[in-house]
Amino acid sequence: MHPTVHIIVLGGTITMAPQATGGIAPSLTGADLVAAVPALAGAADISVATPFLVPGASLTFPQIAEVRALAAAAVETGAAGVVVVQGTDTIDETSFLLDLAWTADKPLVVTGAMRGAGAPGADGHANLLAATLVAAAPAARGQGVLVVLNDEIHAARLVEKTHTGLPSAFASPGFGPLGHVMEGEARISLSPRRPKAPPIPPDATDLPPVAIAKVTLGDDGRLIRALPDLGYQGLVLEAMGAGHVPAALVDPLQAACSRMPVVLATRVPGGSVFRHTYGFPGSEMDLLARGLISSGGLSPHKARLLLAVLLFGGADRQAIADAFSAHG
């Protein structure tokens, strides 16, 4: 008897086909995708839903909350695991946001495709089958939300999209995949510690606005000065190197810290923000001493999501700092 896996299809490249007006756009439903992969029947008993079809870049917080509820309902009614199929533009964000709220022991697996359904070498069918195998696998239990593409199994907290077009676009910089899908089975070799996530209430269908500001050569700080008056409730600073900014940004950042939480992240894909190595004005030691909060090992866009969730829950500065420290 096969385990049951529930597949939730949201759209993305995996559902896209050529349009008469040019280009590809979401066209295929979940039922279409499942019917196109007969091998799924040998992996699990499949149920499927298509709550909406949108590109990954157009997904919203309320839609992800809906997906979270649908996935929770599926495992509560007996599914061994859930697969979410979506556009790859935001998989590294949506998977992390889902992971913050996923308390079930059963796996939630996010997948997609880098090539449209009609393209030579389309990878969607293989990715859907691999994700389903992982969702049905006992080895995936207790791992939280996983991302599966190109036969690699990644932790949602660590995975990033690293290429705009290759099927091997997803990686976990500095860590690597937790395992692989090989010979029709999920082989998971690593099980990273999952930080305790802040609770996301069921009514968290939208989140407070948090800005990301990327620091570049010669930045004079005018964007930092403007942000507190634009309605944002928090800021993630995408700093240089190990957490550094031009000296001209120090005063604007300290002023911003007096009005909202400011999280210090880095634009470098691999590695964490430093804590106590550099001591010049605008260094990580200087900025942390002025009230910025280290993002630890989280990328800027994931730090934005965690900060938004914490602000939604009314966390104070110490609670925010503690939550990010757990992701260090």
Please, what is the average pLDDT of the chain?
Answer: 94
Q: What phi and psi values does residue 292 have, to the nearest 5 degrees?
A: -70, 155
Instruction: Report the sign of the C-alpha dihedral through residues 27, 29, 35, 37, in that order.
Output: positive
* Each residue's pLDDT tens digit, 284-316: 999 999 999 999 889 999 999 999 999 999 999
**Taking residues 143-154, what's their average pLDDT?**
97
> Which DSSP string do the residues of 43-105 spell out, in sequence order?
T-EEEEE-S----GGG--HHHHHHHHHHHHHHHHTT-SEEEEE--GGGHHHHHHHHHHH---S
Percentage of the chain with pLDDT > 90? 85
* Each residue's pLDDT tens digit, 22-72: 888 888 899 999 999 999 999 999 999 999 999 999 999 999 999 999 999
Query: In the prediction, which pLDDT does 153 show?
Result: 98
Instruction: Report the sign of the C-alpha dihedral through residues 277, 282, 286, 292, in that order.
Output: negative
In the predicted structure, residue 202 carries a pLDDT above the cut 70: no
Contact 284, 274 (CB under 8 A): yes
- 3-state DSSP of 166-198: CCCCEECCCCCCCEEEECCEEEECCCCCCCCCC
Full set of structural domains in the chain with CATH: 4-188 (3.40.50.1170), 210-325 (3.40.50.40)
Catalytic residue status for 21: no
Query: In the prediction, which pLDDT does 179 show?
Result: 97
* Distance (Å) of CA 270 to CA 88, 163, 216, 223, 297: 20, 15, 18, 26, 9
| 300-312 helix and 91-101 helix, angle to the nearest 10 degrees | 40
Query: In the prediction, which pLDDT does 199 show?
Result: 66
The residue from 4, 13, 111, 266 that is catalytic is: 13
Q: What band does 7 get if pLDDT is binned at 50, 70 and 90?
A: very high
In the predicted structure, residue 119 carries a pLDDT above the cut 90: no
Count the alpha carbons within 13 Å of 237 in the hemisphere toward its beta carbon.
38
